[in-house]
Amino acid sequence: MREQQTTAGEAVIRILEQGNTAAILRFGSEADLVKILQHPTTSISCDCGASTDTRQHPRAWGTFPRVLGRYVRETKALTWEDAIRKMTALPAATIGMVDRGYLAPGMVADITVFDPATVIDHATYEDAGQLSEGIRAVLVNGGIALRGGKVTGERRGRVLSRTPHMPSRTMAGRIPPATDGSRGELRLSIDVRQQPSDSRAKGTLRVTDGTATFEATEWGVLQTTDKWASFTARVSTPSSREDRSAIVIVEFADPFVAGQPRTVTIVVDGQRLATGVLQ
């Protein structure tokens, strides 16, 4: 506007006439940013996508280390626990994922190991591609993608999609009553509970599909929201004792089935074992 001695609208039109031009626009205040970060429902994320292009906003390369280094370690605007919750379990719950966000049996092993004494971003507006410091290792779907700060070449990433039984939810909710039922040849017995102070669920899970019986050997996290519950566990058959990961989703009034009955979905090792109405 100053250079062309014109209005804001005219300046934008003249820029667009020259082509598709990227811009970094500054707005807001640091005090407001801190208040937003501290709000209990605010997740920490980045809209930058996946790219090796260094000609972009520095947040593409340094969002999470900046929060950990500056807003946790240096200014103490957040605690370590709350910052990590806002990067993991909270966004997973908000977008509806049920097998990510916690370090728990049955959950997918997406893990970042960092040094709290050194983690910090180095990306700048002038050089957005500077790598952050203090990230020791990264696991994606159980494979080590970064070791000792160096990329290993391991490619375990995959496209994630929600099913109808993965609602957006808060991280707090009521503990649902125990449920049992059957459908056809599938027999299911569930008695699961988790108190707010517990790090994991506990109880019993037994599933028989006509050919095999699975029983829970180790429990993950119980997640709940209105008329919905989900938990993960390690399960095995009494004969083989081979551990597998399992996800169980219970809908107390399934909105995708006529009459909104109680339904259950069981996924073992990423493969759907059964979905049916609880009788």
Instruction: Express each pLDDT in 251-265 by its tens digit.
Output: 999 888 888 898 898
State the average pLDDT for the chain.
87
**pLDDT over threshold 60, residue 117:** yes
Q: Which residue has the higher pLDDT, 15 or 172?
A: 15
Residue 26: exposed, middle, or buried by beta-carbon count in 10 A (0-12, 13-18, 19+)? Answer: exposed
Write down the pLDDT at residue 27: 79
Residue 274: which pLDDT band, with cuts at 50, 70 and 90? confident
| DSSP codes joined into one string, 217-267 | EEEEEEEEETTEEEEEEEEE-TTT---EEEEEEEESS-TTSTT---EEEEE
Instruction: Express each pLDDT in 192-237 by its tens digit.
Output: 999 989 999 999 998 887 667 889 999 999 999 999 999 999 998 8
Lowest average pLDDT, out of 37-46, 60-69, 79-88, 250-259, goes to: 250-259
Compute CA distances 261 → 174, 175, 224, whole Å: 20, 19, 18
Instruction: Express each pLDDT in 146-187 by its tens digit.
Output: 999 899 999 999 888 888 888 888 775 333 333 333 334 578
Could you say which DSSP state residue 193 is in?
A: E
Residue 167: exposed, middle, or buried by beta-carbon count in 10 A (0-12, 13-18, 19+)? Answer: middle
**pLDDT over threshold 90, residue 51:** no
The domain segmentation of the chain, as residue ranges, is 8-151, 180-277
